[in-house]
Amino acid sequence: MQTQEKKYISPEEYLETECKAEFKSEYYNGEMFALAGAGRWHNIICHNIGLSLGNQLKDKPCEIYQNDMRVFIDENAFYTYPDVVVACGEPEFNKDENLVNPILIIEILSPSTEKYDKGAKFYFYRNIKSLKEYILVYQEEFLIEQFIKQSENEWKLKIYNKANMAAELVSIDCQLPVSDIYNKIKIVKG
Amino acid sequence: MQTQKKKYISPEEYLETERKAEFKSEYYNGEMFLPTGASVKHNRISTNLTALLHNQLRHKPCSVFHSDLRVKSEKSEFYTYPDIIVVCGEPKFEEKSHMDTVLNPVIIIEILSEPTKDYDRGQKFEFYRLIPELIDYILVAQDKIHIEHFTKLRENEWLLKEFSGFTDNIQIESIKYLLSVNEIYEKIEFVR
């Protein structure tokens, strides 16, 4: 994430710019942040997750979106493009076509955005009333962190760090095996 | 946190420099990092917590340390100075000859500062989780009433609870203590 400008940008200005822009930016509190392009492993992991969940969700009333679905969080005037989003039942959009009721968000960690995804983003995501699960997938090691909402202000964190483990996605009743996520991935821990 | 040098520094070089240095640095993966200076609020919260925990633990085999005791997990090359730690039983040290790097805290508390808060929430916790004795990891905001409390449930499983009410109480599992949010923020004024 990189700051483009310092002057205050209104959400309307952001959305107008964003419609015409050739690259995606996220928005928070008067500022726009250009999204870094994703690398080879990031792309493969994202595709693997889409494939695995897409198959399991075929006959369920849930939709899965990858990379290009903008999510809006009212409390923080925050617009973001998660790597993978799932909405169940009727997806709800605000007037500018931003999804407002995701049930599951998955972020694939890039070294440049790792701290932000793990810290600030989850902090904002926790304000989404419909959100039941948040998952972080590391690129440089077999490591998945799964946050499952237990009740208001309470989340359980489960860690998966072995190839024979599988995350139980309770919100959408799916299984996400670690070996599926990392199919074709060469782990190069620097 | 700011990088001082780019060349690889070994843990031994870091520790040797650190023991002679006039200011603290943290260490990870061949690099040394300067912690940022603390604010008045940061200090007050730290003092409140240290006093509360100290009082609670006076007659128990646990001790509170703040700011100046280096922590490391045996499984990583990551050295840090948490704002507050609690050790129960005998402290385990990395080197018996230098009793300055402790390996077995049961509680780690970080008071969040703007430049390092994402780091504290994310990467630091990833390293702290490698400490088998750790049961409670607590993040305290200083610009508003907000506390994130992770409690270890079992291997690879933690519970995160958030507190933002003045009258909330936080159950600290490792030392069986009910910590009052009100007392953590005593004498802190918030601009509304």
Q: Which residue has the higher pLDDT, A136 or A77?
A: A136
Specify the amino acid at residue A166.
Answer: A
Check CB contact of B130 with chain A, cutoff 8 Å: no
- Give the least confident one: A153-162, A169-178, B78-87, B115-124: B115-124
Q: Does B93 touch chain A (CB under 8 A)?
A: no
pLDDT at A190: 43
- Residue from A71, A72, A75, A108 nearest A86 by CA: A71
Separation of alpha carbons B149 and A40, rounded Å: 36
Residue B20 or B107, more confident: B107
- Per-residue CA distances from B123 to A65, A119, A181, B147, B161 (Å): 28, 9, 21, 18, 19
Which residue in chain A has the smallest CA separation from B112? Answer: A119
Tell me the domains of chain B and their CATH numbers. Answer: 38-184 (3.90.1570.10)
Average pLDDT for A154-176: 95
Q: How many residues does chain A have?
A: 190
Does residue A170 register a pLDDT over 80? yes
Q: Phi and psi of B139, rounded to 5°?
A: -115, 125
**Is A123 within 8 Å of B156 when comparing Cβ atoms?**
no
Distance from the A139 Cα atom to the nearest Cα atom in chain B, whole angstroms: 14
Angle (CA) A27-B146-B156 rounded to 5° is: 85
d(CA A153, CA A155): 7
Instruction: Give B164's contacts in chain A (Cβ within 8 Å).
Output: 153
The first and second tokens of residue A141, run together, are: 């090691």
Whole-angstrom Cα distance, residue B109 to residue B184?
12
Which token pair is B168?
A: 């909330």
Return the pLDDT at A153. Answer: 94
Lowest mean pLDDT among A69-73, A86-90, A100-104, A145-149: A69-73
Whether chain A has a CB inside 8 Å of the CB on B157: the answer is yes
* Structure confidence at residue B191 (pLDDT): 65
Tokens of B114: 């703007």
Q: Are B55 and B141 in contact (CB under 8 A)?
A: no
Residue B162 touches chain A, beta carbons under 8 Å:
yes
The percentage of residues in chain B with a pLDDT greater than 70, rounded to a whole number, is 93
From B133, B122, B42, B46, select the one nearest B87 (Cα to Cα).
Answer: B133
Bridge-based pairing of strands B78-80 and A133-138 is unpaired
ipTM over the 0.90 cut-off? no
> Are residues A155 and B160, on separate chains, in Cβ contact within 8 Å?
yes
Cβ contacts of A126 on chain B, cutoff 8 Å: 162
Structure tokens at A2: 């990189």
Express each pLDDT in A90-129 by its tens digit: 999 988 788 999 999 999 987 766 666 666 788 889 989 9
Question: What is the average pLDDT across A5-26?
Answer: 84
Q: Which of A109, A155, A161, A178 to mutate to test the interface with B (most CBs of B within 10 A)?
A: A155
CA distance A190 to chain B (A): 10
Return the percentage of chain A with pLDDT > 70, whole number: 91
| pLDDT, mean over chain B | 89
For residues B162-183, average pLDDT = 95
Q: Nearest C-alpha of chain A: how many angstroms from B58?
A: 31
Interface residue B110 vs chain A (CB under 8 A): no
Higher pLDDT among residues A11 and A154, named by residue: A154
Read off the pTM: 0.85
Residue B117 sits at the chain A interface (C-beta within 8 Å): yes
Nearest chain A residue to B155 by CA distance is A159
Kindly list the residues from chain B whose CB atom is less than 8 angstroms away from the CB atom of residue A164: none
Q: Residue B157 and residue A153: Cβ atoms within 8 Å?
A: no
Residues in chain B: 192
Q: What average pLDDT score do residues A66-88 get?
A: 87
Burial track A154-187 (b if 16+ CB lie within 10 A, e otherwise): ebbbbbbeeeebebebebbebebebebbbeebee
Q: Looking at the predicted structure, is the pLDDT value of residue B171 above 70? A: yes
The pLDDT tens digits of the residues spanning B71-128 come to 998 888 889 999 999 999 999 998 888 888 999 999 999 998 876 777 777 678 989 9
